[in-house]
Amino acid sequence: MLRKIIQTDNASTTIIIRLMVGAVFLSEGIQKFIFADKLGAGRFAKIGLPTPDFLGPFVGSFEIICGSLILIGLLTRLAAIPLITIMLVAIASTKAQLLADNGFWSMLHDSRTDWAMLLGSFFLIIKGGGKWSLDHKIMSK
């Protein structure tokens, strides 16, 4: 089972997507702790999510852990799953209102990073960590 999870191809370009997705999630997770009122629990309270004092650090921790795993390419597929969930909730909880208030094009503009992270995470589930990942190194043994 573990071999199926960490199995990856020999693509050297996957690292570009890993760096993008991993760095953004790692940074956003850290900022949920540094700027909790604006980006963590305070933001979750503002958009009406339940138990924001729990959810802020919980989501931030997953972003830090999974973002770090993706950066080093360890358990890449597994690490992408919670990040997809986070992005789907983010899009549903913030962009639906933007669509209603400002229209389709404004919503697309304001959600470009969300879509890039969502699709990048799906890419990593499909492809795995690629040639320059710990997943590949483990599979090569």
Q: Could you tell me if 109 and 16 are in contact, meaning their C-beta atoms sit under 8 angstroms apart? A: no
Two tokens, residue 108: 């697309």
What is the percentage of the chain residues whose pLDDT exceeds 90? Answer: 91
Distant-in-sequence, close-in-space partners of 128: CB < 8 Å, separation ≥ 6: 6, 7, 8, 9, 14, 76, 77, 135, 136
Q: What pLDDT does 45 receive?
A: 97
Query: Is the predicted pLDDT of residue 3 greater than 90, yes or no?
Result: no
Query: Is the predicted pLDDT of residue 19 greater than 90, yes or no?
Result: yes
What is the percentage of the chain residues whose pLDDT exceeds 70? Answer: 100
Residue 138: is it exposed, middle or buried by C-beta count within 10 angstroms (0-12/13-18/19+)?
A: middle
Determine the angle formed by the axes of helices 14-34 and 52-72, rounding to 10 degrees.
150
Q: In whole angstroms, how large is the CA radius of gyration of the chain?
A: 16
3-state SS, 52-77, equals: HHHHHHHHHHHHHHHHHHHHHCCCHH
Question: pTM score, two decimals?
Answer: 0.93
Query: Is the predicted pLDDT of residue 17 greater than 90, yes or no?
Result: yes
Domain ranges of the chain: 2-139
Of the pLDDT bands very low, low, confident and very high (cuts 50, 70, 90), residue 113 is very high
Q: What pLDDT does 141 receive?
A: 79
Query: If you average pLDDT over every residue of the chain, what do you get?
Result: 96
Q: What pLDDT does 24 receive?
A: 98
Predicted confidence (pLDDT) per residue in 68-110, tens digit: 999 999 999 999 999 999 999 999 999 988 999 999 999 999 9
Residue in 95, 75, 76 with CA at minimum distance from that of residue 21: 76
Predicted confidence (pLDDT) per residue in 29-76, tens digit: 999 999 999 999 999 999 999 999 999 999 999 999 999 999 999 999
Show the DSSP H helices in 35-131 as ranges: 36-39, 41-46, 52-72, 76-90, 96-102, 104-110, 112-127
Query: Is the predicted pLDDT of residue 4 greater than 90, yes or no?
Result: no
